[in-house]
């Protein structure tokens, strides 16, 4: 695990006295391999969905043309 820097910031925005805590983290949320895997998975999934939709639309249009 990489070391990270965390700052806790106190904000005096609420008049009720309950002050929200905000943590600022100075590091990436995902590693490079996780980003690559997510992009590849998204690309493959969207490609598969588009191929199936295209096949369905083509089949439907082919049936309509065949009835004429």
Per-residue pLDDT, 32: 92
Segments making up each domain of the chain, as ranges = 32-68
Task: Give the model confidence (pLDDT) of 15-24 as tens digits.
Answer: 556 667 788 7
Best CA proximity match to 24, nearest among 42, 10, 41, 38: 10
DSSP string for 4-63: --EEEEE----TTS-PPEEEEE-S-SS-HHHHHHHHHHHHHHHHHHHHHHHHHHHHHHHH
d(CA 39, CA 30): 12
Mean pLDDT of 38-49: 98
Q: What is the pTM of this model?
A: 0.53
């Amino acid at each position: 695990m990489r070391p990270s820097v965390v700052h806790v910031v106190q904000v005096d925005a609420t008049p009720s006295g309950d002050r929200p805590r905000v943590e600022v983290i100075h590091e990436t949320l995902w590693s490079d391999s996780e980003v690559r895997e997510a992009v590849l998975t998204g690309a493959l999934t969207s490609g598969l969905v588009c191929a199936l939709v295209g096949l369905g639309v083509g089949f439907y249009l082919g049936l309509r043309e065949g009835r004429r």
